[in-house]
Structures are given as structure tokens and as C-alpha cells.
Amino acid sequence: MISMSQIKILDKEFRISIPKAQIHDAVTKMADKMNTELAEKDVIFMGILNGSFMFASDLFKLIKLNCCITFVKVASYHGTSSSGVVKSLIGINENIKGKTVVILEDIIDTGGTLENIISQLKGYEPSEIMIATFLFKPEAFKKSYKIDYIGIEIPNDFIVGYGLDYDGYGRNLPEIYTLI
């Protein structure tokens, strides 16, 4: 029999690894730090869809700054450049020029996705770009840019829940589960 702490999504089994209380504590610590450090800035939070929606929602409810929030998505398509797949940032409607953009990510793994987002964002001339990620896999990270806010560091294992998916499923889980 499968216990409650173990779940199956599609063909794979997962075990609970980060319970709700630990998630809530980590999000609260991030919000407290931001409320202190960003008080003098003109901030726009920028959630990266789909994965960050749950983290962004929980965090934003604890933010006490006078600030804005927007969401963008990274769309992959096959372009004509020699590199093959082009990833473009879609959904930037707000004017971010001169503002402090705080990117909200669900997870930074190798760091490649975010590096691409950062380089595209620079073209919109924000005064600065800061990075907040709920989860971080230090063993997988291959880049050198600074991450300003990290919720929880995790081992280099595949996880689902709290917005993160396995083939589109599992985003609704309120805890985080690790592939067995």
C-alpha cells in the first residue's frame, strides 16, 4: 500500500520532502528581507510563468512595499538563427524603465533559463535586476550571476509540487515531493 506521504504522478513515484510549514517559513523569511532591503526602491516584481505562480502569490501577500507585480512567460520556438531554438520573453506590457525589477522564479537549476531572461530584460532598461528564487539547486548551477534571495537550497533531485510540474502535472500539490 502507498502511504499518504508517497504519491504517483503519471508513471513516477514521489515522496514528500518539504512540508507546508517549511515552505511557509521560507517564504516569510524572504518577504521580511525584501520588506527591509527594498523599502526605498521603485519595485516591480516579475513572476516567471508557469512555475512561479504559487510562490509569487504567497510571497506577494506578505510584501508591505508600495510596488507592482507582473508576469511573463518564456516561449520556445524554432527560429532561423544558427542556434536553433530561440527563447523569447512574452507578456511585458508594463513600463519597467528605471525600475527595480525583482524576478520571481520557482527554481533555479542550471541557471540557463534565467540567464536568457536577464539578457532580454536588460533591453527594457530597468535601473537594476534582482533575482529571487524559491528553490535553488547549488550542485546543478553552472552560471556566475548573483542570486539575491533564495528560499530553500535543495539537492540535485527532480521535484514536483508548489507550482512545479512533471509533464504538466503536480503543480497543485501544496507540499514539495521528490522523485523516488
- Please pick, from the candidates 47, 51, 151, 170, the single residue that binds Mg ion as defined by CB under 5 A: 51
Q: Is 22 helix (H, G, I), strand (E, B) or coil?
A: helix
109 is catalytic: yes
Catalytic residue among 25, 109, 157, 165: 109
In the region spanning residues 134 to 173, those forming contacts with ligand IMP, defined by CB under 6 A, are 158-159, 164
Q: Residue 7 or 117: which CB sits closer to Mg ion?
A: 117
Grid cell, residue 44, equals 516591480
DSSP 103-150: EEEEEESSSHHHHHHHHHHGGG--SEEEEEEEEE-TTT-------SEE
CA angle 90, 103, 127 (to 5 degrees): 95
Looking only at residues 81 through 100 of this chain, which bind ligand IMP when binding is defined by CB under 6 A? none
Applying CB under 5 A, does 161 fall inside the site for Mg ion? no
Q: How far apart are CA 164 and CA 177, in angstroms?
A: 10
Q: Is the dihedral of CA 123, 109, 23, 31 positive or negative?
A: negative
Question: CA 15: distance to chain centroid?
Answer: 22
Q: Can residue 111 be called a binding residue for ligand IMP (CB under 6 A)? A: yes
Q: Say if residue 116 is preceded by a cis peptide, omega within 30 of 0.
A: no
Place of cell 504519491: 7
The least distance separating ligand IMP from the CB of residue 59, rounded to whole angstroms, comes to 16
110 makes contact with ligand IMP (CB under 6 A): yes
> Nearer to Mg ion by C-beta: 106 or 148?
106
Applying CB under 5 A, does 151 fall inside the site for Mg ion?
no
- Smallest distance, ligand IMP to C-beta of residue 91, A: 16
When asked if residue 14 is in the footprint of ligand IMP (CB under 6 A), the reply is: no
- Residues in contact with ligand IMP, counted by CB under 6 A, come to a total of 12
Which residue numbers are catalytic?
Answer: 109
Contacts with ligand IMP, residue ranges (CB under 6 A)? 51, 106-113, 158-159, 164
Contacts with Mg ion, residue ranges (CB under 5 A)? 51, 106
